[in-house]
Structure 1
Amino acid sequence: VENVLRPAILPLLLPEQRRRAPTFGASCASQRTRDTPSEHAQPSLASTGRSNTSFAGQVVASSLRIPSSPSASTINSKVVQPSVGPTALTVAPTVVLAGTAPPHANDSLPAHPTSSWDRPFVLLADAFEAELRHFGLLHRHSSLLSGLRSGFHIGIPALTNTLIQNNHNSARSHPEIISTTIQRELTAGRYRGPFSSEQLQSIIGPFQNSPLGLVPKGLEQWRLIQDFSWPRAGNSINSHLSSDSWPTTWGASRDVVRTLLALPVTAQAAVRDVADAFRILVLHSSQWPGTVVRGEDGLFYVDMCLGFGLAPATGVWGAVADALADICRAHGLGPILKWVDDFIFFTVPLSALDTVNASRARLATTITGPQSRGGVSFFADADNMEHVEDYQFPLRNHVAAASDELVSSLAAITAITAPLGVPWKREKDVDFCSAPIYIGFQWYIFDQCVALPDSKRLKYLDAISDWQQHPSHSLHDAQALFGKLQHASFVV
């Protein structure tokens, strides 16, 4: 199994080339010398694990396929890219199912007295509306605007009884970490409190807190989780919610392959992360009774923002991210793919712009319309292939003054997104280069190859070595190693 993780780079292949694919792309390996992004661009396994439950003792790294409910995710997590094929990277047709639009906010729900509280809105609803209206995209994202203005309704029902639950043992064992986290959220304006249970119920009526827990993050760090799926056999907050109500696009590995095969080898890509993506979205005040946090001091706090462990959280954020990507495309940026809060922006030299736009125009004629399947939305073409966009807008030159210069830049992206209030995590920006790291893989654009980043490959080898040192293993350990190997199998 260790041979799987020896240095290897696999070529990007068209479906008809799959049978004659080599086991390892040796010819590509000799050219691995260009523009390797810095280490901080790599999403770690710990930060990308997906699970349908949100408490620490569950799966650390689960199957890398797109789940039927990609919105049900571990708190404070990103999502590992799906495994879409064996050795050769191929784009396979899929069955197109009937689509549904994202749900409109139910403005008939009564607001609680807390609606007078200051709410930490970050994104600028008026700017989003102006851009969407200007480019004729308002019909596609009409349900978004009420959420940006008044807070998002995600389906938490009116509660009839107050349910107070203890935090999990991991949180109770480290009260200082819980206290520090609560203080940080209060300072950011995302929590309101503290309140006694009597005070809080007099303000918002019956409420339910979901237990807090801690999971290890590295050797000396912890990640706070909120277990919205607790109690497992009772009326947890997540038991009322559906991730399928919020379908969103997913720029998976197969989409990277399709994009790169459609671009010249002189293309480059930049990677950017939205800072505090979920937490910059405010929930409607009618939802707050279901997002209460209990501190280890016995006091309670109202979390006014979208929590990572809520079942539809990735889809709610995805509605915003889809609109953001569409606005950028309308301005002529792209191609653009995204996975939760990670965006990869491709660009080409000015000399290739006309050719690429002609190809995009041809693709646009094949798109039959938007579809969705569970929590996944996409555009289908006549051959039942899934695309993350409809290729409506041509790419434009934003910065190039000479034929060999790129037509886009990080500054050009910021100029378009800053008026919307989008906060990029600048310390994680990876500027345009020919070997970006996105969704856990390094993409060698010039060579049309893909590989595991060295740091991830060595990490996986260490995990195998550690596994071999012990005669038996827990289910948790087996699941964690399985997730690592399944991720690696994409380039085998």
Structure 2
Amino acid sequence: MTGSIAPTGAANKDTSTIQPGSGSGGTNLPGSSPLTTAEKKAENLARTARNLLLQQRRDAQEANVPADEPLFHIISRPSTPTSSVPSTTIPAAHNVVGLLSAFSQFSPGSQKKLQTLINTSLPTADNSLPDSVPKLLFSIERERPSSSTSHAQSFGIHPFILNLGQNRVHIPLSLFTTASTNKLHNNSTSIKQNIVYNASGTKCHLIDLTQFQTESEMDVADWHEAWNRCIPFLRTHSDTAVAQRWEEHYQFLSKQDDFKRDFHAILTFDIEQRTRYSIAPEAHNEDAYQRCFEARLTGTPIGVAEHTIRTTVTPVVIRETLPPTNLPFERAREPIPGPLPSASVAAGPATNSLNARKRQRRKESTRSRDISTTNLCSALTRPLSASPSSSIPPSASASSIIPNNTSAPSVAPLNTEPAQENAPNEGDATLLLGARLCPLDDFEEWYPPPNLSAPDEPHVYFNDLQPEPSPFDNDSDFSLILTPYSAPDFQRYLDNAGLLARYPELCFKITHRFLLGDLAPILESFTPDNLPSANDHTEVIREYISEELALGRFTGPFTRAQLETKIGPFRSSPLQVATKVGACGEPDKFRICRHLSYKGTLGQSVNDEIDAKDYPTRWGKATDVAKIISAAPPGTQVATLDIAGAYRTIPVKPDHKRFLVVYFRGFFYMDHNVPFGLASASGLQGEVADATVDIWESLAVSPVVKWVDDFALFRFPCETGPFADGNFHYHYDLTHAKELIAPLRIPWHLTKGQEFADSFDYVGFHWDITLRTVSLSERKRLKYHAHLLLFLQTYENSQVSKKEAQSLICKLSHVTFVHSHGRSYMSNLYAWLRTFNNDFTPRYMRSSVISDLKWWLSTLSIPSAPRSLTGRGPTRDYGIWVDASTSTGIGIIWNGHWAAWRSLEGWKIPGRDIGWLEGIAAEIAILIACAMGIRDANILIRSDNDGIIGAFEKGRSNNAETNLCIRRSEEVFRVTGLSASLIYVNTKDNLADPVSRGIYPADSLRLPLSLDLPAPIAPLFAHA
């Protein structure tokens, strides 16, 4: 931190006693002999460095910074012949490490100034030697002091590394490799530095670590090489106890029996331990250290393992004992006699097969992605995906409701029928895994974000619709296909509607199974422990397994040997139980999920082998619903339905059941249906749901939108329909709509959903068709307000984890669909989120972030004002052209008339550039429309600045000044019902370009309007 570093050269020296001389600079130090010219020059260098540090503190807005130290006056004298007597050692040379460390903190401009001063202050070397004396190429006198005594080999520790440590920034181990060391010393002048805020909030200059190898990319040799440099560094720059502890840490890891096999997990653990210590040093706890290490080897999240004692790992041995009899969900099972199938039979193709080689390549290529730790100043995190409702602008097309037709070979009618589930049982509201996908769910980090674009191609299928024989086909549990859907009836409905070309594989999949993905064979069983939260909620898991067994979707329990006999080698994924605190006095809810993104010691998860893009589906977004309601005739109504346990209705290909095994209390359960958390789950279930929507619409039940398992059915009034409600008649009611497709056997939830009505809830919002409004429900408003209030109380003056920041920003992003003017209050939040360089380093909130969060708190503290969905009609073209120039100001053309504003002195400060001026031009055009009395209309504005067009479309800008411009415009929109569509025109075609450069048309064409600019910008412009 710049403000807390002791000035270089000031150690053990009271600079306050230096008296000013009669000339420029100070005199000799009191009580000391007069300084030589060389010593004065050295002291001047030290003082210059200290003065530059003081200036850095002033630049960082630090208060009470001392005045600069005066420099010694040095009288220029003619150069004299060089004496043969060895030169006197300069006292300041002992502080060269500190001087270089301070030098590394300067901005590039300050570094250049100091280098210039050093070059002009050094004595001119007299290289003239008698001809009889040979010229030396190397000598002791020409050697420079080492940067640090931390390492005796090759170069020392570079000051850039010391600077990281002084600012309490994690020092990546990869900086100590030979390659990084050579780069630091040989190319230090070309290494980029970034201006960042350290842990105390002080601005400083740190090297951009993206120029170096990341820690996660190190191999075994790099890791040992780096530690051999890091240990001497720690011995020099840490106290003895700390250095000894880290040396023991290195020895402990490097002596692991399976070091090479487990290096991936060891490296991850090593990075986590060093990162946490560098950020928040904590006394060593051997018990916690060992638990975390064991957890990392098994893949358990470290944050959980530190606070929960892990249960004993189940030995990987073949057991033929029967399960204990105290489990409520058991069924008696006899040990299955006979030998296990050979590995080659159980695993499918041999290890040299194409699939096996593909799997090995994928495994190797994804190893480096397992570690979520990245270095400081690494590439910024991607902007958080907005919630589905806010990720599409209001003007987006609703074409994603119905996809384009695609052609594919049809499938002959099927004669086989899979086993049918008891559909009424699906309506049991206590089912724990019938939950729908929600962007705000606890498991969002495990579940791939939905692809909101409409699919252009059918789903990918991997074996040309041919059943594959398996050595386990004779096992009834292995071969079981469990689904409520009727394949023959889907075939008939799709054929009658002409939809078989769009869904050529669906009926085959319902009959024979759905593939989870292009999964490689399993060669050896992998059965990690469940996550610690599962051990804390064993009764919840017992009830869950009991439910699944009763519904026939689970089979078990089995010992490992029994299950391997039935399906071959398999893998289980850890269970976790998440507690969702009930809102408004409701009881807590428990959600159980399989962590199918868990890699463990394999370095490869089930989800890693699945490409979600191969499983497209349609998403009925909030913008689609808004478009329908805005154009709906009076009397329009909506009914909602919910598929019970939607994912759990999809049968899994028998060979893929070995990827979905559930482990609990020493026993295993075979799962026959798609679970929540699978990367392809939305697409697998979506194929059935999309077909259902298309079949309905072919029967004139239209339009229908759906989001995973939630369906919203619209109906419009007609003159002679058989179903009446008040003064309106309709072609169908909800019962009739369900009866039309009843043979498909869709398991509708018995309690969720509603009959046709004028208002309804969908994707987290309440929609009123009669009023044409959408709002945030009162229950959700109170929930979000409470969450935000607690967040501010907890973190306003302390650091926030990345996960907490993401969770809050996701909620607020969802709300912006209703509070569209709140989009400009998200820009600072997104920018703050991008400063999280890894998942382990918490960060303080900037003042701008706190200010915007308090605006959201105030907004959510009052009942939600609904957003109007009333259509504004066609976009109105008033002939509006806007432009700006930095030399003159702003020009606007309005229907052949012109207006201009000259920019005044002082307008240009950091953040106010040509982009900002172009934004002000658009803002003024909007203000003119308001002043002319235009209301509830969308106006067309032409601009030649793409950046501003995009910013107004998003409702926010990364530029703070431009963002304020958009914020003011959004407030005008909110009050007047106006909106603006900005379109691009080439600069040479922009009619406002000459006006913005001071070339004005005749006064008779001046726009006859007096306009008061907003207070924040009024002093910056004058009406031309």
Which amino acid in structure 2 is aligned with residue 168 of structure 1?
Answer: L
* 1:152-171 equivalence runs, <5 A: 152-155=514-517, 156-171=519-534
Which amino acid in structure 2 is aligned with residue 224 of structure 1?
Answer: I
Q: What is the TM-score when the length of structure 1 is the normalising length?
A: 0.70
- 1:465 matched to which residue of 2? 789
Find the aligned partners of 1:115 and 1:198 in 2 and give their Cα distance. 15
- 2:493 matched to which residue of 1? 131
CA offset at residue 400 of structure 1? 4.7
3-state secondary structure, aligned to 1:427:
coil
Find the aligned partners of 1:277 and 1:49 in 2 and give their Cα distance. 13
- 2:805 matched to which residue of 1? 478
Find the aligned partners of 1:145 and 1:176 in 2 and give their Cα distance. 38
Whether the aligned pair in 1 keeps the contact of 2:394 and 2:623 (CA below 8 Å) is no
Moved more, 210-219 or 471-480: 471-480
Find the aligned partners of 1:292 and 1:168 in 2 and give their Cα distance. 15
- 2:547 matched to which residue of 1? 184
Whether the aligned pair in 2 keeps the contact of 1:214 and 1:222 (CA below 8 Å) is yes
CA offset at residue 249 of structure 1? 0.7
Distance 1:310 1:115, change over 3 A: farther
Which amino acid in structure 1 is aligned with residue 751 of structure 2?
Answer: E
Find the aligned partners of 2:595 and 2:609 in 1 and give their Cα distance. 14
Structure 2 segments unaligned to the other structure (5+ residues) = 1-392, 397-428, 430-434, 583-587, 820-1024
- 1:103 matched to which residue of 2? 460
CA offset at residue 234 of structure 1? 1.2
The structure carrying a bigger helix percent of its residues is: 2
Whether the aligned pair in 2 keeps the contact of 1:167 and 1:211 (CA below 8 Å) is yes
Distance 1:434 1:191, change over 3 A: same
1:50 and 2:410 aligned:
no
CA offset at residue 317 of structure 1? 0.3
Find the aligned partners of 2:627 and 2:737 in 1 and give their Cα distance. 23
Which amino acid in structure 2 is aligned with residue 200 of structure 1?
Answer: L
Find the aligned partners of 2:520 and 2:492 in 1 and give their Cα distance. 32
CA offset at residue 272 of structure 1? 0.8
Deviations 1:39-94 (A, max 9, x none): x9xxxxx965438xx985x759x9xxxx8x517xxxxxxxxxx8xxxxxxxxxxx9
CA offset at residue 151 of structure 1? 1.4
Identity of aligned residues (%): 32
Which amino acid in structure 2 is aligned with residue 463 of structure 1?
Answer: H
Which amino acid in structure 1 is aligned with residue 671 of structure 2?
Answer: D
- 1:227 matched to which residue of 2? 595
Distance 1:238 1:59, change over 3 A: closer
3-state secondary structure, aligned to 1:216:
strand
Distance 1:400 1:330, change over 3 A: farther
1:294 and 2:621 aligned:
no
Selected match of 1:249 from 615, 618, 625: 618
Deviations 1:359-388 (A, max 9, x none): xxxxxxxxxxxxxxxxxxxxxxxxxxxxxx
- 2:972 matched to which residue of 1? none
Find the aligned partners of 2:722 and 2:608 in 1 and give their Cα distance. 47
Find the aligned partners of 1:15 and 1:325 in 2 and give their Cα distance. 24
Whether the aligned pair in 1 keeps the contact of 2:481 and 2:512 (CA below 8 Å) is no
CA offset at residue 443 of structure 1? 1.5
* 1:43-122 equivalence runs, <5 A: 49-50=438-439, 59=445, 69-70=449-450, 99-104=456-461, 106=463, 107-111=466-470, 112-113=472-473, 116-117=476-477, 118-122=480-484
- 1:425 matched to which residue of 2? 749
Which amino acid in structure 2 is aligned with residue 415 of structure 1?
Answer: E
3-state secondary structure, aligned to 1:456:
helix
3-state secondary structure, aligned to 1:286:
helix
1:212 and 2:571 aligned:
no
Whether the aligned pair in 2 keeps the contact of 1:215 and 1:224 (CA below 8 Å) is yes
Moved more, 314-323 or 165-174: 165-174
Distance 1:398 1:330, change over 3 A: farther
Which amino acid in structure 2 is aligned with residue 207 of structure 1?
Answer: F
Deviations 1:443-488 (A, max 9, x none): 1212222111111112111212222322334433322221211111
Whether the aligned pair in 2 keeps the contact of 1:329 and 1:336 (CA below 8 Å) is yes
Larger Rg: 1 or 2?
2
Q: How many residues align?
A: 375
Find the aligned partners of 1:282 and 1:243 in 2 and give their Cα distance. 18
Find the aligned partners of 1:163 and 1:262 in 2 and give their Cα distance. 55
CA offset at residue 398 of structure 1? 6.1
Whether the aligned pair in 2 keeps the contact of 1:114 and 1:285 (CA below 8 Å) is no
3-state secondary structure, aligned to 2:794:
coil
Whether the aligned pair in 2 keeps the contact of 1:350 and 1:402 (CA below 8 Å) is no
Find the aligned partners of 1:143 and 1:417 in 2 and give their Cα distance. 20
Find the aligned partners of 1:197 and 1:206 in 2 and give their Cα distance. 9
Which amino acid in structure 1 is aligned with residue 468 of structure 2?
Answer: L
Find the aligned partners of 1:247 and 1:440 in 2 and give their Cα distance. 23
Find the aligned partners of 1:200 and 1:453 in 2 and give their Cα distance. 48
Q: What is the TM-score when the length of structure 2 is the normalising length?
A: 0.35
Moved more, 472-481 or 214-223: 472-481
Find the aligned partners of 2:458 and 2:473 in 1 and give their Cα distance. 31
CA offset at residue 401 of structure 1? 9.5
3-state secondary structure, aligned to 1:251:
coil
Deviations 1:148-196 (A, max 9, x none): 1111112233212211111111112222222221111111100111111
CA offset at residue 442 of structure 1? 1.4
Which amino acid in structure 2 is aligned with residue 445 of structure 1?
Answer: I
3-state secondary structure, aligned to 1:305:
coil
Moved more, 233-242 or 125-134: 233-242
- 1:453 matched to which residue of 2? 777
Find the aligned partners of 1:224 and 1:426 in 2 and give their Cα distance. 22
Selected match of 2:703 from 335, 348, 360: 335
CA offset at residue 414 of structure 1? 1.6
Whether the aligned pair in 2 keeps the contact of 1:267 and 1:346 (CA below 8 Å) is yes
Find the aligned partners of 2:528 and 2:626 in 1 and give their Cα distance. 47
Whether the aligned pair in 1 keeps the contact of 2:436 and 2:709 (CA below 8 Å) is no
Find the aligned partners of 2:776 and 2:439 in 1 and give their Cα distance. 19
Distance 1:432 1:482, change over 3 A: same
Whether the aligned pair in 1 keeps the contact of 2:481 and 2:652 (CA below 8 Å) is no
Whether the aligned pair in 2 keeps the contact of 1:213 and 1:225 (CA below 8 Å) is yes
CA offset at residue 123 of structure 1? 0.8
Moved more, 152-161 or 282-291: 152-161
Find the aligned partners of 2:783 and 2:474 in 1 and give their Cα distance. 47
Find the aligned partners of 1:417 and 1:248 in 2 and give their Cα distance. 20
Selected match of 1:304 from 672, 675, 679: 672
Find the aligned partners of 2:595 and 2:725 in 1 and give their Cα distance. 53
Find the aligned partners of 2:752 and 2:442 in 1 and give their Cα distance. 27
Which amino acid in structure 1 is aligned with residue 647 of structure 2?
Answer: F
Find the aligned partners of 2:639 and 2:462 in 1 and give their Cα distance. 34
CA offset at residue 199 of structure 1? 1.0
Find the aligned partners of 1:435 and 1:178 in 2 and give their Cα distance. 37
Find the aligned partners of 1:15 and 1:302 in 2 and give their Cα distance. 47
- 2:686 matched to which residue of 1? 318
3-state secondary structure, aligned to 1:447:
coil
3-state secondary structure, aligned to 1:334:
coil
Find the aligned partners of 1:229 and 1:104 in 2 and give their Cα distance. 22
Find the aligned partners of 1:427 and 1:171 in 2 and give their Cα distance. 29
Whether the aligned pair in 2 keeps the contact of 1:191 and 1:303 (CA below 8 Å) is yes
Whether the aligned pair in 2 keeps the contact of 1:114 and 1:204 (CA below 8 Å) is no
Find the aligned partners of 2:722 and 2:808 in 1 and give their Cα distance. 44
Distance 1:110 1:487, change over 3 A: same
